[in-house]
């Protein structure tokens, strides 16, 4: 399912292709986050015009609203939101663990209260696999405990160990479902945990390898730890992962983070940064970040980024975008999101091209 096209000579960067039931995904790839079955403020048509090949869906959010059984009855998430490309669903672990007051963890799974109406649910490794299968994800993730930062070494260790036991239960459930329903090309990814402790990360990788996952993610990062610790952990962990499977760094990050992680051999990324920043007025450009509410833009008739190929930069001025932001217009969020996602997807295109041309090392500098 994963095709490794070439490796960069100077760095760990890889150029690959992930073949999914909903099309091929060129890697390294950035996956826009479609929390509730829609990438926030990004019209589907604009996403298609950008040649996006895969988006993320959040299991936790879709389970609560509109419900996975509802989505299954409506023909699956692809039919529901009319997205023709691939969909990766997270396992909901990150969300249920981040609501600290609303959950209780046991070996069985996590009991939690809905942030919407307080209704109680139990997520287990098994039912989280079932939910993602009901949604029709092309790539499903194991249910894991996202170890918080900071955590004691002992806590990070026992948390990682539980995640590995859960990973085994997910793999078993997935295998049984595949045996019963047939192999339709959908994939299950494992997730490495272990905080910022190299030996725990290594033990986590060793626990996952025998389970035969279709890809492996590095989880539990970008949760508040210092940047350098994150980079060190990624750079130490990525090379330990199977070379013939895709590697996914969850929830990361800034353009700089992504470039650095690609150099370490990571293939897949997701982050709310481009979409959330867009709505908050922070826009990415080749010359750095722009805070659109800055008064300096009020009379600026030039584009946000003259080198950007997006329809917003080709059509509107900084002055107009600032005006829409200051006026609280819905359209501001749409235009800003189109721009920021164009920036991210364009960055990935440049990264892929540089690797293909054997120039990623140069490009990096």
Nearest to its own copies of 62, 171 (CB atom): 62
Distance in angstroms (rounded) separating the CA atoms of residues 95 and 115 = 10
Residues 154-183: x where in contact with its own copies by CB under 8 A, - otherwise, as a string: ------------------------------
Q: How far is the CB of 295 from its own copies (least distance, A)?
A: 11
Distance in angstroms (rounded) separating the CA atoms of residues 123 and 177 = 18
Residues 223-282, interacting with its own copies (CB under 8 A)? 279
Q: How far is the CB of 346 from its own copies (least distance, A)?
A: 20
| Beta pairing partners, 289 | 284
Which residues neighbour 127 within 8 Å (Cβ) at sequence distance 6 or greater?
109
> Which among 70-78, 103-111, 155-163, 245-253 is the span making contact with its own copies, rule CB under 8 A?
70-78
Place of tokens 């793999």: 171
Q: Which of 141, 134, 30, 139 is nearest to 77 (CA)?
A: 134
Residues 42-61, interacting with its own copies (CB under 8 A)? 42-45, 61
Q: How far is the CB of 323 from its own copies (least distance, A)?
A: 5
From 5, 10, 23, 75, residue interacting with its own copies (rule: CB under 8 A): 75
Distance in angstroms (rounded) separating the CA atoms of residues 324 and 331 = 7
Is-catalytic flag, 90? yes
Does residue 285 sit in helix, strand or coil?
A: strand
Buried b (16+ CB within 10 A) or exposed e, 73-109: eeebbbebbebebbbbbbbbbbbbbeeeeebeeeeeb
Nearest to its own copies of 70, 153 (CB atom): 70
Interhelix angle 198-208/153-181, rounded to 10 degrees, is: 20
Is-catalytic flag, 51? no
On whether the CB atoms of residues 112 and 103 are closer than 8 A, the answer is yes
Q: Does 293 interact with its own copies (rule: CB under 8 A)?
A: no
> Which among 67-75, 167-175, 235-243, 252-260 is the span making contact with its own copies, rule CB under 8 A?
67-75
For residue 132, give both structure tokens.
């993602």
Nearest to its own copies of 9, 116 (CB atom): 116
Q: Which of 337, 308, 352 is nearest to 55 (CA)?
A: 337
Q: How far is the CB of 58 from its own copies (least distance, A)?
A: 11
Residues 109-148, interacting with its own copies (CB under 8 A)? none
Residues 315-334, interacting with its own copies (CB under 8 A)? 315-317, 319-320, 323-324, 326-327, 329-331, 333-334
The strand order across the sheet containing 23-27 reads 2-7, 14-20, 23-27
Which residues neighbour 217 within 8 Å (Cβ) at sequence distance 6 or greater?
141, 189, 190, 191, 192, 247, 248, 249, 250, 268
Q: Which of 341, 340, 335 is nearest to 51 (CA)?
A: 341
> Which among 17-25, 41-49, 178-186, 206-214 is the span making contact with its own copies, rule CB under 8 A?
41-49
User: Strand (E) positions, 22-129?
Assistant: 23-27, 29-31, 33-34, 54-57, 86-89, 103-105, 110-113, 120-123
Active-site residue among 8, 267, 270, 305?
A: 270
Active-site residue among 90, 267, 305, 346?
A: 90
From 33, 41, 167, 249, residue interacting with its own copies (rule: CB under 8 A): 41
Q: Does 95 interact with its own copies (rule: CB under 8 A)?
A: no
Q: How far is the CB of 66 from its own copies (least distance, A)?
A: 5
Nearest to its own copies of 47, 196 (CB atom): 47
Active site residues: 90, 270
- Site residues, its own copies (CB under 8 A): 36-38, 40-45, 61, 65-66, 70, 73-75, 79-82, 279, 298-299, 301, 311, 315-317, 319-320, 323-324, 326-327, 329-331, 333-335
């Amino acid at each position: 399912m994963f095709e490794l096209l070439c490796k960069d000579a100077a760095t760990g960067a890889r150029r690959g292709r992930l073949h999914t039931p909903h099309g091929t995904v060129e890697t390294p790839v950035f996956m826009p986050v479609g929390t509730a079955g829609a990438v926030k403020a990004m019209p589907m048509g604009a996403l298609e015009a950008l040649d996006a090949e895969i988006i993320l869906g959040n299991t936790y959010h879709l389970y609560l609203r509109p419900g996975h059984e509802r989505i299954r009855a409506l023909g699956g998430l692809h039919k529901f939101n009319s997205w023709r490309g691939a969909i990766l669903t997270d396992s909901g672990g990150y969300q249920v663990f981040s609501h600290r007051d609303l959950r209780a963890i046991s070996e069985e799974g996590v009991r939690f209260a809905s942030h919407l109406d307080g209704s109680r649910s139990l997520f287990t490794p098994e039912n989280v696999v079932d939910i993602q299968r009901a949604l029709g994800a092309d790539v499903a993730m194991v249910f894991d405990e996202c170890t918080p930062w900071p955590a004691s070494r002992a806590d990070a260790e026992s948390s990682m160990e539980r995640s590995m036991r859960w990973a085994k239960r997910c793999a078993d459930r997935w295998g049984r479902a595949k045996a019963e329903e047939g192999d339709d090309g959908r994939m299950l990814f494992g997730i490495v945990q272990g905080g910022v402790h190299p030996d725990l990360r290594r033990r986590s990788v060793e626990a996952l390898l025998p389970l035969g996952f279709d890809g492996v993610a590095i989880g539990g990062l970008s949760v508040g730890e210092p940047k350098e610790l994150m980079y060190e952990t990624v750079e130490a962990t990525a090379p330990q992962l199977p070379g013939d499977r895709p590697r996914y760094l969850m929830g990361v990050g800034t353009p700089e983070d992504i470039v650095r992680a690609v150099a370490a051999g990571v293939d897949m990324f997701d982050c709310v940064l481009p979409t959330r920043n867009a709505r908050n007025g922070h826009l990415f450009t080749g010359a750095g970040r722009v805070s659109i509410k800055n008064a300096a833009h009020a009379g600026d008739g030039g584009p946000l980024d003259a080198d950007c190929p997006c329809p917003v930069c080709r059509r509107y001025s900084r002055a107009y975008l600032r005006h829409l932001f200051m006026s609280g217009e819905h359209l501001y969020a749409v235009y800003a999101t189109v721009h920021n996602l164009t920036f991210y997807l364009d960055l990935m295109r440049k990264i892929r091209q540089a690797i293909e041309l054997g120039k990623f090392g140069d490009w990096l500098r």
